[in-house]
């Protein structure tokens, strides 16, 4: 099969591997909250995304992780142009694409495609697989002239591991994993440079998740793709991601390489998320502190002042309510060459997260072995005896 035809880079020479392809700066999306039917009056706004900045580098996979409702899908939709930002910039190859319209926008969108979360609802049940995968060619006929489409679609089905002869079948004739392959084939149809995958395996059985993740990794090499890979669980993105951004209530809490985030998290929220990741090895499970996040995620319509995590943070102090912690390398780590030297939006990132002995519950009393319930809002400060660099919090 003539794969090179499907795999050629979409847009000529561009950034070298490792250089920024997308530069997201202070991205904001507020959804207005209105009252009244005839005369709509704005009474507030859902601050779904509220000042998010990061780069996507050529050839990398950036994982974005956070609890449901923290704004991940909204970021995805902003990146692919399905939503318009309230403020901020999305620079693609150096150009701000948020204000583009018409043909210029269409050309850019060809290069940034999305794979959706739920293959059960994102595929039109009345369309054949051939029509679904070939649909992008209706908008971009220049990529595949009409007479050539069937062959191109069959080629794409083959690339994602589906039998090209299934081209006339309907979505209900496929399993969940196969349906996600159809969604991926459609995402590849225009030969994009970037794929934004919004929880692409969350709706799939665990046994199928790895197959789809492997397929995405294989396609990344073959098609020279850069990925934004969204998940609500840190364990899913670990192996596929070069870097991981942790999101909380419309903002980024921490961003870094796999080693920095998993072995040396400095933000209390990341530490809590990691402590909930299942550990297969019983020995390390026994030695690991579990942090139970208490309290609900506040509403994005009225987020807490200062640090948004403060209502659930055991390290919170007065400063946290008054000053928004910037996402930057904490000053005590700036001279360090160790893995703690990565951006973290916490005023006290340099102080190690500790479960104080007096806060530990005797075994069995909390109903789940090894779990510690942390007191909210108390001063749990302790300094590291040997310098400011925090050690691993969640042992694997």
Q: By the criterion CB under 6 A, which residues form the site for ligand ADP?
A: 31, 46, 48, 66, 68-74, 300
Closest CA to 210 of 179, 239, 246: 239
Binding at 300: pick from ligand ADP, Mg ion, ligand SF4, none (beta carbon under 5-8 Å per type):
ligand ADP
* CA separation for the pair 350, 383 (Å, rounded): 9
CB of 165 to ligand SF4, least distance (A): 54
* CA separation for the pair 220, 166 (Å, rounded): 24
Interaction of residue 116 with ligand SF4, rule CB under 6 A: no
Interaction of residue 333 with ligand SF4, rule CB under 6 A: no
Closest CA to 162 of 136, 142, 139, 132: 132
Establish how many alpha carbons lie within 13 A of residue 313's alpha carbon, considering only the half-sphere containing its beta carbon: 29
Length of the chain equals: 396
347 DSSP 8-state letter = T
In the bound state with ligand ADP, the residue whose beta carbon lies nearer, of 71 and 177, is 71
Closest CA to 78 of 104, 50, 57: 50
CA quadruple 293, 297, 298, 300: dihedral, nearest 10: 150
CB of 296 to ligand SF4, least distance (A): 16
Interaction of residue 347 with ligand SF4, rule CB under 6 A: yes
Interaction of residue 348 with ligand SF4, rule CB under 6 A: yes
Of the ranges 137-145, 205-213, 233-241, 310-318, which one interacts with ligand SF4 (CB under 6 A)? 310-318
CB of 207 to ligand ADP, least distance (A): 24
In the bound state with ligand ADP, the residue whose beta carbon lies nearer, of 69 and 161, is 69
Interaction of residue 248 with ligand SF4, rule CB under 6 A: no
Total site size for Mg ion, rule CB under 5 A: 2
Interaction of residue 122 with Mg ion, rule CB under 5 A: no
**Among positions 116, 174, 227, 309, the unique one binding ligand SF4 when judged by CB under 6 A:** 309
Neighbours of 344 (CB within 10 A): 32
CB of 267 to ligand SF4, least distance (A): 6
Site string for ligand SF4, 249-278 (x = CB under 6 A): ------------------xx----------
Establish how many alpha carbons lie within 13 A of residue 223's alpha carbon, considering only the half-sphere containing its beta carbon: 29
Give me the sheet containing 61-65, strands edge to edge: 112-115, 194-198, 226-231, 61-65, 243-248, 251-257
Interaction of residue 310 with ligand SF4, rule CB under 6 A: yes
Total site size for ligand SF4, rule CB under 6 A: 13
* CA separation for the pair 48, 133 (Å, rounded): 31
**Among positions 24, 47, 66, 73, the unique one binding Mg ion when judged by CB under 5 A:** 73
């Amino acid at each position: 099969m003539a794969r090179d035809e499907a795999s050629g880079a979409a847009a000529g020479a561009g950034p070298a591997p490792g250089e920024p392809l997308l530069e997201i700066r202070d991205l904001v999306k507020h959804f207005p909250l209105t009252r009244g039917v005839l005369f709509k009056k704005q009474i507030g706004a859902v601050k779904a995304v509220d000042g998010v900045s990061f780069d996507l580098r050529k050839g990398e996979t950036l994982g974005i992780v956070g609890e449901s409702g923290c704004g991940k899908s909204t970021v995805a939709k902003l990146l692919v142009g399905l939503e318009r930002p309230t403020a901020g910039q999305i620079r693609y190859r150096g150009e701000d694409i948020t204000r583009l319209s018409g043909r210029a926008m269409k050309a850019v969108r060809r290069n940034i495609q999305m794979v959706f979360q739920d293959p059960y609802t994102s595929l039109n049940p009345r369309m054949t697989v051939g029509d679904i995968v070939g649909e992008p060619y209706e908008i971009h006929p220049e990529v595949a002239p009409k007479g050539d489409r069937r062959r191109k679609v069959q080629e794409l089905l083959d690339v994602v591991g589906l039998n090209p002869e299934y081209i006339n079948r309907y979505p209900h004739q496929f399993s969940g994993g196969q349906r996600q392959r159809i969604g991926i084939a459609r995402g590849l149809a225009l030969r994009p440079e970037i794929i934004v995958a919004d929880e692409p395996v969350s709706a799939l059985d665990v046994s199928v998740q790895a197959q789809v993740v492997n397929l995405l990794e294989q396609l990344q090499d073959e098609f020279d793709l850069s990925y934004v890979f969204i998940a609500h669980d840190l364990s899913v993105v670990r192996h596929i991601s070069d870097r991981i951004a942790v999101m909380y209530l419309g903002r980024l809490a921490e961003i870094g390489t796999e080693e920095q985030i998993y072995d040396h998290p400095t933000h209390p929220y990341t530490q809590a998320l990691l402590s909930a990741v299942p550990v297969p090895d019983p020995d390390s499970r026994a030695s690991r502190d579990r942090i139970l996040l208490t309290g609900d995620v506040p509403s994005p319509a009225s987020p807490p002042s200062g640090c948004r995590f403060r209502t659930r943070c055991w390290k919170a102090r007065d400063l946290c309510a008054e000053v928004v912690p910037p996402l930057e390398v904490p000053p005590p780590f700036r001279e360090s060459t160790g893995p703690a030297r990565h951006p973290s939006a916490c005023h006290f990132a340099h102080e190690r997260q500790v479960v104080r002995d007096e806060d530990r519950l005797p075994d069995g009393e909390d109903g789940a072995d090894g779990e510690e319930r942390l007191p909210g809002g108390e001063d749990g400060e302790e300094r590291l005896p040997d310098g400011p660099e925090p050690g691993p919090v969640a042992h694997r």
